[in-house]
Amino acid sequence: MSRMATDADNNIVLSPEKPTAAVVFLHGLGDTGHGWSDAMTMLAKGLPHVKFVLPTASSMPVTLNMGMRMPAWYDIKSLARVNGDNADGIDASRDRIMTIIEKE
């Protein structure tokens, strides 16, 4: 049975006694890791060897949503696909996620 905790980086962590695998689950725009904790708890029951890490994105203004602050992995400027558009914040989110993966 997995136990739920919050780690030093404020990630929700569901971990069995001796995990042999890990899943880092990234929520969508405006959501949080905590918002997915119930669903991941149910999933963990069927995967008793898996540790689940649910980070929450930083709150930032999102251009697509008229600058409203919300949890987002990067600033979404539009839904149109534009080649070469480097979304603000994506590098910082990538680095944070890579740190979580390396730790696991």
Domain ranges of the chain: 3-88
Q: What is the pLDDT of residue 85?
A: 57
pTM, full prediction = 0.86
Q: What is the pLDDT of residue 97?
A: 95
Q: What beta strand segments (E) does 1-104 contain?
A: 3-6, 12-15, 21-24, 50-54, 59-62, 68-71
Closest CA to 7 of 29, 24, 30, 31: 24
We find that the CATH architecture of domain 3-88 is 3-Layer(aba) Sandwich (3.40)
> Greater confidence, 85 or 23?
23
Percent of the chain residues topping a pLDDT of 70 = 93
Q: What is the pLDDT of residue 84?
A: 57
Could you report the per-residue pLDDT of 39-88, keeping only the tens digit for each?
Answer: 999 999 999 999 999 999 999 999 999 999 999 999 988 888 765 556 67
